[in-house]
Amino acid sequence: MRTKVAIIGSGPSGLLLGQLLANAGIDNIILDRVSKDYILGRVRAGVLEEGTVGLLDQAGAGARIHREGLPHDGFSLAFDGRDHRIDLYGLTGKHVMVYGQTELTHDLMDKREATGGISIYEAANVTPHDFDGGIPYVTYEKDGTTRRIDCDFIAGCDGYHGVSRKSVPESALRIFEKVYPFGWLGILAEVQPVSPELIYANHPRGFALCSMRSHTRSRYYIQCPLDDKIEKWPDDRFYDELRRRLPTEHAEAMVTAPSFEKSIAPLRSFVAEPMRFGRLFLAGDAAHIVPPTGAKGLNLAASDVHYLFESLREYYGEKSTAGIDAYSERALKRVWKAVRFSWSMTTLLHRFPDTGDFGQKIQEAELDYLVHSTAASTALAENYVGLPY
C-alpha cells in the first residue's frame, strides 16, 4: 500500500490531521493498535478553545458541537468559602466550549467514514521505518500477516505511550518532565451540574473541580494522594469530600447520583523536543503532556495539528519545505506557553505536601491578586480561552 501521510494513532490528533489533509486532497492512512469502540470508551477532558472548534469546523466535523456543545463565558475560582468569577468573555471577547473529547472523537470518526478515509484499527506492532534520511514506511501486523505502507511522511499521533517517540534515537531527544505529588480522582454521573459554569476550588483539604459534559451529566474531581485506590472511594464518600471543598451555597445545592465512571489519574508535565526527525513528526500527547488543571491537553493537540497540516499543505501545494522545517519550533513555542499555564494553574490551586506555611501564604496572596486585579484576571483568562496560533 502507498499513501502520502501515514498517521499513527486514531485519537483526536490523528483524526483531525487525517481529515484536514483529506479535505485538501492529501491522501493518508490512519493506524491504531486498538479498536474504534475502545477509543470511544475512553473518558477524557472536555473544554475546547475557540481555535479548536474552528479546526473542527475546518475539518467539516463541527455541526454537532454547535448544536450540543455548551458555550461558557466564564468560570469560578472558589477559595476562602466563596466564588470569584473569571469573566472570560468580558475580559477577552472569547468563550470556551464544553464538549467531551469522546464526542469530538466520535464526530471525527463519523466524518472520516462518510468521506471514505482509510483507518486500520487493531493493527499490532505498528513500526515506523527509515524516516531519518531514507524513504519512510510503516509496518504493522493484522490478521496474522505483516503489512507495509510506503509513504512520504509519518505523523506520530499515538499519544504518550505510543511507538513514534520511542522510535527516535534517545540521543536526538531532549525530555523535560515534572511529576506532581498527587492525582485527580474523577467521576462521571448522570445528574445536573451543581453550577452552570465550572468551579475550580482551592481548599485546605485539597483541590476540587466541578465540570460537566451536558446539562444532565456532571464531571467532578477531587485531588487525592497518588497511591489512593478507587475502592476506597464509594460515591457517598466522594460526594461528601467534594462538598467539603466547595463554598456552602454549592455544597448545599449539589444533587447527587450514582457514578458510572470513576478513575484516578496522575498529573505530570512532559515535553519532548524536537517534534520532528526527518520525515517523522510528533503531534499531541506523543510529544507533550500537561496536567489537566488548565484543560489544555486536547487544545494543544489541535494547535500542533494546525501547524503540521499547514506545513504539509505548503509542501504539497507549493513544493516548499519551509513549513515542515519550521514545524517543531512553531509548535513548541505554543506548547511551552500552555505547559507554563497548566503548571501555574496546578501550583495555584492544589495543596502540595511540602510547601509549608510560606508557600501557603504565597498561594493565598496570588489568588487574592488574581481576582482583584483586572490585569491579572485578564492574563489568566487569555491563557484559558487559548493563545492565538
Q: What are phi and psi of 272, to 5 degrees?
A: -110, 130
Q: Please pick, from the candidates 21, 26, 29, 39, the single residue that binds ligand APR as defined by CB under 6 A.
A: 39
Site map (CB under 6 A) of ligand APR, residues 45-74, x = contact: x-----------------------------
What is the rounded distance in angstroms from the CA atom of residue 69 to the CA atom of residue 347?
A: 29
Residue nearest ligand PHB, Cβ-based: 211
Residue among 166, 230, 218 nearest 191 (CA): 218
- Is residue 296 flagged as an active site residue? yes
In the set 72, 95, 203, 250, the catalytic residue is 72
Q: Name the minimum Å distance from CB 143 to ligand PHB.
A: 37
**Is residue 295 part of the contact set for ligand APR (CB under 6 A)?**
no
Q: What is the DSSP string of 192-205?
A: --SSSS-EEE--TT
List binders of ligand PHB among 132-151 (CB under 6 A): none
Contacts of residue 342, defined as CB under 8 A and 6 or more positions apart, other chains included, come to 269, 290, 291, 292, 293, 294, 296
Interacting stretch for ligand APR, rule CB under 6 A, among 30-38, 169-177, 237-245, 260-268?
Answer: 30-38
How many chain residues are in contact with ligand APR, going by CB under 6 A? 28
How many residues are listed for the chain in this entry? 389
Q: Name the minimum Å distance from CB 84 to ligand APR.
A: 27
**Is residue 158 part of the contact set for ligand APR (CB under 6 A)?**
yes
Peptide bond into 274 cis (omega under 30): yes
What is the rounded distance in angstroms from the CA atom of residue 32 to the CA atom of residue 120?
A: 6
Q: Which is nearer to ligand PHB, 160 or 316 (CB)?
A: 160
**Is residue 294 part of the contact set for ligand APR (CB under 6 A)?**
no
- Is residue 200 flagged as an active site residue? yes
Distances from the Cα of 309 to the Cα of 20, 105, 302, 303, 345, angstroms? 7, 18, 10, 10, 30
Interacting stretch for ligand PHB, rule CB under 6 A, among 126-134, 248-256, 289-297, 365-373?
Answer: 289-297
Contact 104, 43 (CB under 8 A): no
Q: Which is nearer to ligand APR, 39 or 91 (CB)?
A: 39
Sheet (strand 82-86) strand order: 82-86, 75-79, 199-201, 208-214, 217-224, 174-189, 259-273, 288-289
- Is residue 140 flagged as an active site residue? no
Query: Other C-beta atoms within 10 Å of 194: how many?
Result: 21
Return the one option of ligand APR, ligand PHB, none that residue 211 interacts with (CB less than 5 to 8 A, by type).
Answer: ligand PHB
The enclosing H or E element of 71 equals: strand 70-72
Q: Name the minimum Å distance from CB 100 to ligand PHB.
A: 8
**Is residue 284 part of the contact set for ligand APR (CB under 6 A)?**
yes
List binders of ligand APR among 89-118 (CB under 6 A): 101
In the set 111, 203, 250, 296, the catalytic residue is 296
**Is residue 69 part of the contact set for ligand PHB (CB under 6 A)?**
no
Q: Which ranges of 245-296 does DSSP label H, i.e. alpha helix?
A: 248-253
Interacting stretch for ligand PHB, rule CB under 6 A, among 40-48, 227-235, 300-308, 318-326?
Answer: 40-48
Q: What are phi and psi of 37, to 5 degrees?
A: -65, -40
Contact 196, 211 (CB under 8 A): no
Q: Which is nearer to ligand PHB, 277 or 384 (CB)?
A: 384
**Is residue 3 part of the contact set for ligand PHB (CB under 6 A)?**
no
Number of H helices, E strands in the chain: 12, 20
Contacting positions for ligand APR (CB under 6 A)? 8-14, 31-34, 39, 44-45, 101, 126, 157-159, 161-163, 284-286, 297-298, 301
Residues recognised as catalytic: 72, 200, 292, 296, 384
Contacting positions for ligand PHB (CB under 6 A)? 45-47, 198, 211, 219, 292-293, 295
